[in-house]
Amino acid sequence: MGKQATEMLKGVLEGIVLAILTGRPAYGYEITAWLREQGFSDIAEGTVYALLVRIEQRGLVDVEKVPSEKGPPRKVFTLNAQGRDYLEEFWRTWSFLTDRLGQLRDHTEYEREEGER
């Protein structure tokens, strides 16, 4: 993943993580592993953990400590009502941005094609 993609991903990673938690509760390593399986191989585990701390502090998730067979208890994150509301707003914003960017791309391609004639 190039620098531009990495920077863009940072801006939407919070929404992606909340969307992952819509499906089921998960702990940090599970979320990181799923992201990597989906092709986001450059995401550092520390980035996801820092994000989880922030969304916990903002009250978007509920956290339960679950005993682990290896080491300390795991923090399992569950999307709560406030997090669902935030995620709905994220998707509305995402749709708005993708629509506008698509229009811009189409317009600039049209302008370029007209200029080549």
**Residue 76 carries which DSSP code?**
E
For strand 74-79 and strand 26-27, is the pairing parallel, antiparallel, or unpaired?
antiparallel
* The pLDDT of residue 57: 97
Tell me: the pLDDT tens digits for 45-73?
899 999 999 999 999 999 999 998 888 99
CA-closest candidate to residue 80, choices 64, 62, 54:
62
Which domain does 79 fall in, by range? 3-116
Look up the pTM and report it: 0.85
How many domains would you assign to the chain? 1
**Residue 67: CB partners within 8 Å, gap ≥ 6?**
73, 74
pLDDT band at 11 (very low <50, low <70, confident <90, very high): confident
